[in-house]
Amino acid sequence: MEAEQLRRTFTDFFSQHGHVRLPSASLIPHHPTAPLLTNAGMNQFTSIFLGEEPPPHPRVTTVQKCFRTGDIDIVGTTTRHLTFFEMLGNFSFGDYFKPEAITMAWELVTERLGLDGSRLWVTAHHDDDEAAELWVRSVGLPSERVQRLGDEDNFWEMQKGAPGPCGYNSEIYYDKGPEFGPGGGPAGGGPERYVEIWNLVFMQFQRLGDGSLVDLPRKCIDTGAGLERILPVLAGQPSVFETDVLRSVIAAAEEATGRAYGSGDEVDVALRVLGDHGRAMSFLVADGVLPSNEGRGYILRRIIRRAVLRAHRLGGEKPVTPTLVAAVEGVLGGPYPELVRSSELITQVVGREEARFRQTLRSGMGLLEEALASGGDVLEGEVAFRLHDTFGFPIELTQEIAAERGIAVDLGGFEAAMGRQRDRARRAGKEAIGATTADERYRALLEAHGPTEFVGYATTEADANVLAVLPGPDGAVEVFLDRTPFYAEGGGQVGDTGTITTATGTAEVTDTTAALPGLHRHTARVVEGEVTAGQPATATVDADRRNDIRRNHTATHLLQWALRQVLGDHVAQQGSLVAPDRLRFDYSHFAAPTEEELRQVEQLVNRAVISDAPVRAYETSMDHAQEMGAIAMFGEKYGEVVRVVEAGEGSRELCGGTHVHALGMVGPFRIVSEGSIGANTRRIEALTGRGAIDRIAGDEEVLARASELLKARPEELADAVARLMERQRAAEEELRALRRRGLAEQAAALAAAAEGGVVVARLDGLAPDQLRELAAGLRGRPEVKAVVLGGSPDGNRAALVAAVAKDSGLVASDLLAPAARIVGGGGGRDPELATAGGRDPGRLDEALEDVRRRLGA
């Protein structure tokens, strides 16, 4: 059985048992408590398990693409670990529980997939007698093949020890046979022999803030079966890397490196890494991740660098990542069409990153070579860590190169530096978990009253009832209404402000956010009387501010459409801010747009605006919206029914924000800045409406002032500035000529004072490049064989330069190195003209005297 048949068999089985098949979610999860990347099939249902949203169906089944960072370092060294993988799953949201989950799992693996039941083992929690008995009583598994383990193996929770839903789990293992290791079952047998193929999670508890467990009112089932784990078992293959979803990618790696799989352990490990990482990088980019130095982007960058390093060590000097990406598309483009749609983007992103890293690799080798050449029998752990962290050098590569020189690596220092980094990451993770823990008060409100009715698309004022007034930060209050015209921050759009008025008081709303999905929270200050729960109220949005926000939001849609028209369909939103005074749009692109391209983008938006075409918003099904080509906004989660906003002829996006009714209301559109905010990610800031008008007026004032100063009409300013710059260039050239004459005269005086062909002198006040120019000029004189000059350009640092004649028998860098150490610095290694710097100008005379002594001058 190959991968596509396994996917179909699994989902067909559960569809026949009343489950609705849902598509895979993105590798970028959206719930605030979710991990950095989707690592399990349940991630897309987090809000359902937490009770924040109702389930779309009582029973669902999925094939979810997943990524786990914890296995990056061991991928390739085993036959079963991967970073990217596909998780087969079935879920029950309060519908069925352990008996049905266990019997369906057994029926699927033994009858539909045809696995030999006598080779199956299961584990259950020490305290879960119910599950252990069901495996024996309901499916007939011998009790000796049901092993009981503790919390580490058979208790599931979203975050270890954190409040939230949790429960026992039961895992199914397949025994590959004695040739793969010792017996004893999964509890004590060989890890290569007993392969976990399915994990059944029985979500039955709620962990409270004090750590205690209480029963959930609705018990749920969450299962995950690794497609790549099951495939080799079904096919009788020794590893996941022999399966159809990986072997063709490894074949591409063989072609790119010229090395054959099966020719040796080192080669096999490297080719497995290339196969796994090729899939991982393809799917990450397809889902909108771009290389960077933090978060998901850093994970992608690390994956690409590890693959390139492996290819490099196998002797592959040509680009390897485009070949891997093409192979991944060939084998997985059918079930995951996003790979095909984003094919060009993926190839460009990973190819550019590989090219950059190959340059970085050369730079890292330079650092390593310099550290190894500095003397000593041990390479500092901090240097090894810097190579690992900055350049992506695995520690084993640093050890291998160092060992060739007879130098050991300080692994203790390296591990200490790694530990400090891990501690920082753990602290950051704990802070994030603490910051995103939901307040039980909000849950109680949502359960008691249901979601807030938002009426703000049609009006900026509405009658409502006050459901609750809770204390907020810094003397503020949080007001909850049954219905509201206030837009809650989301999709990049800031929350509305305004007033909430009752018979007894007025609250000034300073922000509106979602306390939980569907529950509007009005952060406010009571400015008159009091506002209490149970009162009728009038909620009034600041209409002028809302109109400014609407203009900027609609313009953001037009901007994305225009960027895709000018730069290409690979442009994808990476973030946005829609505020009353400006809009900000982050997007993926590989290079800075030219001035002409930005001008075209601005013109396209303004042409759409003056067309005054209508802006239409309507609800439809997600499938229909995708068929129409509607673009999803970055970072947003969508249900089965979505809201589509059409702005003019070209822009069609899924969006829950507020917009103008016709494009003419946007007013003039003006781009005010564009720049890089990270690798392959750029940012545009722009203005509309009143902000754009004020900016245009300000620009005209600046032009008028410049015209007055340069005594030229506005249309003549460019020529006037060009003439001014030409005069400045001429003056600077004249100054440089005077400086060169001065240096020549100084060189003649120094040459005349040379002793034995050697010049050693201190010259303060000269910049390092002037010292270098002077030394180079002196070296060219026949009576001079060696020059060492030193000085302090500004009194805070020391500069040194050494120059020697080709036939002098001297080495400039050797002359300079001891002097550089005296002033607390280091320098270059050029044998004929070397420069150095230091932090201690007070020891310059001592350094130059040392040079004189060594030269005998």
Question: In this structure, what token pair is assigned to residue 461?
Answer: 């004022």
Is pLDDT at 429 greater than 50 in this prediction?
no
User: Mean pLDDT throughout 565-586?
Assistant: 92
DSSP H or E segment with residue 12: helix 3-16
Task: List, for residues 653-710, the tens digit of each pLDDT value.
Answer: 999 999 999 999 999 999 999 999 877 889 999 999 999 999 999 989 999 999 999 8
Cα four-point dihedral sign 829, 831, 837, 840: positive
Residue that the structure tokens 């008008």 belong to: 693
425 contact partners, CB below 8 Å, separation of at least 6: none
Architecture of domain 440-541 in this structure: Beta Barrel (2.40)
Contact 260, 27 (CB under 8 A): no
The fold for domain 3-238 equals BirA Bifunctional Protein; domain 2 (3.30.930)
80 contact partners, CB below 8 Å, separation of at least 6: 192, 195, 229, 239, 240
Task: List, for residues 754-785, the tens digit of each pLDDT value.
Answer: 888 889 999 888 888 888 888 888 887 888 88
Residue that the structure tokens 């070397």 belong to: 834
User: DSSP H helical segments within 314-394, as ranges?
Assistant: 321-332, 338-341, 343-373, 381-391
Residue 637, pLDDT score: 64
Residue 397, pLDDT score: 66
Residue 306, pLDDT score: 87
CA distances from 421 to 388, 389, 534 (A): 12, 10, 51
Is pLDDT at 246 greater than 90 in this prediction?
yes
Bridge partners of 135?
A: none
Q: Among 450, 506, 454, which residue's Cα sits nearest to residue 484? A: 454
Task: List, for residues 805-841, the tens digit of each pLDDT value.
Answer: 888 888 888 888 899 999 988 777 788 899 988 889 9
Which is more confident, 369 or 7? 7
Hey, where are the domains in the chain?
Answer: 3-238, 243-370, 374-425, 440-541, 546-698, 756-855
Contact 230, 197 (CB under 8 A): yes
- Name the DSSP class of 705: H
State the greatest distance between any 2 C-alpha atoms of the chain, in Å, as a whole number. Answer: 105
Which is more confident, 31 or 699? 699
Question: In this structure, what token pair is assigned to residue 85?
Answer: 């993988």
Contact 556, 576 (CB under 8 A): yes
- Name the DSSP class of 305: H
Is pLDDT at 396 greater than 70 in this prediction?
no
Chain centre to alpha carbon of residue 444? 35
Q: How confident is the model at residue 740 (pLDDT cuts 50, 70, 90)?
A: confident
Task: List, for residues 101-149, the tens digit of each pLDDT value.
Answer: 999 999 999 999 999 999 999 999 999 999 999 999 999 999 999 999 9
383 contact partners, CB below 8 Å, separation of at least 6: 367, 368, 371
Bridge partners of 619?
A: 643
Residue 402, pLDDT score: 83
Name the phi and psi angles at 744, rounded to 5.
-65, -45
Name the phi and psi angles at 20, rounded to 5.
-95, 130
Is pLDDT at 545 greater than 50 in this prediction?
yes
Is pLDDT at 165 greater than 90 in this prediction?
no
Residue 430, pLDDT score: 45
Supply the DSSP string of 710-747, one letter for each residue: HT--GGGHHHHHHHHHHHHHHHHHHHHHHHHHHHHHHH
Name the phi and psi angles at 825, rounded to 5.
-145, -160
Contact 248, 327 (CB under 8 A): yes
Task: List, for residues 281-336, the tens digit of each pLDDT value.
Answer: 999 999 888 888 778 888 998 899 889 988 988 888 889 999 999 999 999 999 99
CA distances from 568 to 288, 344, 571, 856 (A): 15, 11, 6, 68
**pLDDT > 70 fraction of the chain, expressed in percent and rounded:** 96
Residue 66, pLDDT score: 95
* 820/455 Cα distance (integer angstroms): 72
pTM of the model as a whole = 0.60
* 562/568 Cα distance (integer angstroms): 9
* 562/836 Cα distance (integer angstroms): 51
Is pLDDT at 712 greater than 70 in this prediction?
yes
Q: Among 162, 14, 166, which residue's Cα sits nearest to residue 92? A: 14
Long-range contacts of 175-183 (CB under 8 A, 24+ apart): 175/119, 175/120, 175/121, 176/233, 177/119
Q: How confident is the model at residue 442 (pLDDT cuts 50, 70, 90)?
A: confident
Among 210-214, 803-807, 827-831, 841-845, which stretch is predicted with the lowest mean pLDDT? Answer: 827-831
Architecture of domain 756-855 in this structure: Roll (3.10)
Q: Is 192 exposed, middle or buried (0-12, 13-18, 19+ CB in 10 A)?
A: middle
Contact 297, 678 (CB under 8 A): yes
Q: Among 115, 156, 117, which residue's Cα sits nearest to residue 136? A: 117
When computed from its CA atoms, the radius of gyration of the chain, rounded to whole angstroms, is 34
Bridge partners of 588?
A: 681
Chain centre to alpha carbon of residue 78? 27
User: DSSP H helical segments within 314-337, as ranges?
Assistant: 321-332
CA distances from 41 to 16, 57, 853 (A): 20, 16, 73
- Secondary structure class of 150 (helix, strand, coil): coil
Cα atoms in the Cβ-side hemisphere of radius 13 Å centred on 3: 23
Chain centre to alpha carbon of residue 168? 32
Among 422-436, 601-615, 818-832, which stretch is predicted with the lowest mean pLDDT? Answer: 422-436
Contact 58, 2 (CB under 8 A): no
* 106/245 Cα distance (integer angstroms): 25
Question: In this structure, what token pair is assigned to residue 229?
Answer: 């784990």
Residue 394, pLDDT score: 65
CA distances from 215 to 51, 58, 97, 154, 464 (A): 14, 19, 14, 18, 36
CA distances from 574 to 43, 297, 302, 654 (A): 21, 12, 20, 15
* 681/676 Cα distance (integer angstroms): 6
Q: Among 155, 232, 237, 142, which residue's Cα sits nearest to residue 196? A: 232
Residue 248, pLDDT score: 93
Residue 436, pLDDT score: 40
CATH number of 546-698: 3.30.980.10
* 494/91 Cα distance (integer angstroms): 35
Is pLDDT at 431 greater than 50 in this prediction?
no
Residue 520, pLDDT score: 96
- Name the DSSP class of 180: G
Cα atoms in the Cβ-side hemisphere of radius 13 Å centred on 116: 9
* 608/650 Cα distance (integer angstroms): 9
Angle at 80 between CA 77 and CA 84, to 5 degrees: 95
Name the phi and psi angles at 346, rounded to 5.
-60, -45
- Secondary structure class of 248 (helix, strand, coil): helix
Chain centre to alpha carbon of residue 197? 30
Contact 41, 67 (CB under 8 A): no
Contact 688, 660 (CB under 8 A): no
- Secondary structure class of 625 (helix, strand, coil): helix
Task: List, for residues 518-540, the tens digit of each pLDDT value.
Answer: 899 999 999 999 999 999 999 99
* 573/586 Cα distance (integer angstroms): 6
Gap between the terminal Cα atoms of the chain: 84
* 193/215 Cα distance (integer angstroms): 36
Q: What is the mean pLDDT of the chain?
A: 89
**pLDDT > 90 fraction of the chain, expressed in percent and rounded:** 55
Contact 124, 154 (CB under 8 A): yes
